[in-house]
Every structure is written in C-alpha cells, then in structure tokens.
Structure 1
C-alpha cells in the first residue's frame, strides 16, 4: 500500500477523530488543523490509549482556527498532500447554530480548494492529483439532481432548513461550491452524505447514489466510525475512488 499524506480539518469532531486515527492505523501520514492539539490527542487516546506514542512520527498537528489562517499558510498546509478531508460542522448549541461564522464549511472549502489550486499552478508535476472529501448530511441536496423522489413533506422540510437553519444552508452551499469544480482534472472530489449518525464500532457500510428511505425517523443508521472508514477507503482505494469521484454518495451501515 502506498503511503499518503492527508490534511484533515474538523479533526476533533465526532467523525474527524476517527478519520485521523484510521489513517494512522493504516500507516498513513496525517496533518490535522485543530484549535487544540491536546484535545485531539485526548480524543484519539479515548479510542486508542497508545495512539500518541505509536503514531507520533505520522501525525503533524497545527493549532489554528481554519478561517484565521492566511492564504500562504493554507498553501503551505495543502502543499504536497494527496487528499484533504473536511469534517467541519457547526456545534449543536445556540451559538453554534446562529452565531458566526455562519459559512464555516463553505468558506473553509473554498479557501482550501483555492490553496490546492494555487499550489498546482506553481507545481511542475502536472500528473499529481489531489482528492477532496467533504462530509455533508443526508438532507444536503445533490446539485446534479437525482435525489428525487422526495415526498412533498420532505421537500418542504429541506426548503425550510435551507432558508431558516444556517448550518444546513452552509452544508448545501459547500456542496454546491465543490460541485462546480469539474474543470480542473487535477482536483477530484466527493461529498459523503451519511444518514442518522450514531456512535459505534467499524463494521460494514453501504454506499448509494442517493438517499434511501424516508428523511424522517428511518431505521437506517451510520456509525461515525463507518463514515470515517468510507473516507479512508476512498483515499487508499483507487477503484473505490473512481466509482464515487464527482458524486455525492449516501452512506449507511450495511446491516
């Protein structure tokens, strides 16, 4: 297996921590941008108590708020990486839902992509490609279409979320932005859309071109560890990547 380097943002999130640890467990290099290096190590230690020792040489951590980094700092962070994974999201608190930055995911996605493209413009390696994996939600609509049929009530709820709940609007805007990036053959992307997220161990998962079942109260679940595994698999498996690049797969646990 070739050794890759992946930049992970949102690495202290409930899914992002699994992405980091699973990449490290696969002997891959990870650069994480987080507000607190200690918090990341604590979260990884809760899953694997020996992680800080075992993976010290593979893990690089930068303490920063992603939107506070300058363009040059983002260029440095994305230089020579094979993949960028964004698990950014809004905290489910009043401040997280309604406070600033309201376009955290969109602005971070845009700035990271611009940094990748700036590095590519200066590079002599015209064959090197960069993968961009964005974590969305089940309710994020695929700009390319194909998600219907949705029921009238589901479409009404999505419309309401889009215009009244800033985090949902942010996630959709980020997906719409990355969807426009089809003209650069060296930048490839996918948007992972999980069903209802739960904690749990890694198991088998299933990917679909569009959401399955009802948006409301369905029995389908996806463990955060499995969502992370799908991202890691796409980084390491070219066959899987070729199947899902430029698409917005829906993920749920296979059982």
Structure 2
C-alpha cells in the first residue's frame, strides 16, 4: 500500500511512519521541514509542503492509496490556543484528495471533540471545556468537514495520549464508557491508524480508542 502521512514528524506521526514501514508499505512523509525526519528520511519518500495548502497536497497525492493525517497542534503551552490549522488542513486535504482521486482518508482527532464530549467523564469534561475549549472547537469544525467530504473517511478519537511503549492491546469501538481520564500510547494509536487505512472495517465510522 502507498500511504501519504501528514504530520509525519510529530510524536504520533513518526510512529505511523515506522509502523507502515515495518508492514512493507511505501510511505510518503508530507512535512514542512524534511530535516525533522532525521533517520527516517532515507526510508521514505519526502514531500515538502504546507498541510493547509491544497496546491502542495495535490502535488504530492497522485498515486497514493490512502492518506493518514496525524496532524497535531504541538506540545507547547501555545498549542491549546485556537487556530485555523485543522479547519484549513481538512479543506486542503479533501480538495487535493478529490483532485487526485484518492478516496481513503484516516483522520486523527482527540477524544472530547464534538459528539464525544457527551460521553466524557467529569474530569475529562472539566479539561475540555476550559483549557482545550477553543482548540477543540476548531477541531470539531474540521471533523464535520471530513464527514461531509464524500471520501471514505475514518475519524479516530484516542483518549489522552502518552509516550508509553506500544502494548499491542487496546479497546476500540464507536462508543466506549469513560471513567476518570484514561490514556493510550501514541504507538498504539499509530498502529490503529495504520490498520484502519488497510481495510474497510472503519470506513464512515468514528472509533474511540483507549488502553
């Protein structure tokens, strides 16, 4: 399978690239700064560009079987502020995918966005409606744009991300009960994103995943 990975230099995106390479897939890392790929640069095709630019994405997409977006806002304190990254990126990737006739899109979004807020525990809701409120509002718009795209989309909602090693075992369903503030390792999230891109089980579904 030939995959285009957005956010390939991010904490989750690097895991996606590594999982795909171990599976024997051909990977194109779509990145703003190719140098940030480090040792992965020699193992993938590299497309430099802006994930909010339809033109840049349209130049990279032809010939791929699927897009996996692991775009994140970053880990700094400023990353919780509202910005247009996700709304602009969703519009750009959808437009480019249509232009390139690439129908499969796996899109990463955090648990607590949109309808998943209603399923959150009390501790989670406190965080989502305060610290992450403006960021999640932007992500909700992006998610709805993906749902209405006409593509074969999957939107994946992991609980709080950690850097723990992959466990290889986690729960995934259209809805999961929450208690406290559960977590899941980025390596396991990456494995699920990759698996979702490989088959049709999760097309037009929004799975929640947690450990």
Answer whether TM exceeds 0.5 for this pair: yes
Superposition pairs for residues 71-86 of structure 1, below 5 Å? 71-86=54-69
Please provide the CA RMSD for this pair: 2.5
Aligned to 1:93: 76
Tell me the distance in 2 between the aligned counterparts of 1:199 and 1:151.
22
Give the 3-state SS of the residue equivalent to 2:24 in structure 1.
Answer: coil
Aligned to 2:173: 208
From 99, 122, 131, the counterpart of 1:118: 99
Give the 3-state SS of the residue equivalent to 1:90 in structure 2.
Answer: coil
Tell me the distance in 1 between the aligned counterparts of 2:162 and 2:193.
17
Structure 1, unaligned runs of 5 or more: 45-51, 121-128
Aligned to 1:49: none
Matched, 1:105 2:82: no
Scaled by the length of structure 2, the TM-score of the pair is 0.86
Q: 1:23 to 1:149 in 2, by over 3 A?
A: closer
Aligned to 2:103: 130
From 4, 7, 18, the counterpart of 2:4: 7
Aligned to 2:197: 235
Aligned to 1:245: 203
Scaled by the length of structure 1, the TM-score of the pair is 0.73
Matched, 1:64 2:49: yes
Q: 1:90 to 1:206 in 2, by over 3 A?
A: same
Q: CA deviation at 1:78?
A: 1.6
Q: CA deviation at 1:33?
A: 1.4
From 135, 138, 158, the counterpart of 1:170: 138
Structure 2, unaligned runs of 5 or more: none
Q: 1:98 to 1:235 in 2, by over 3 A?
A: closer
Tell me the distance in 2 between the aligned counterparts of 1:222 and 1:152.
18
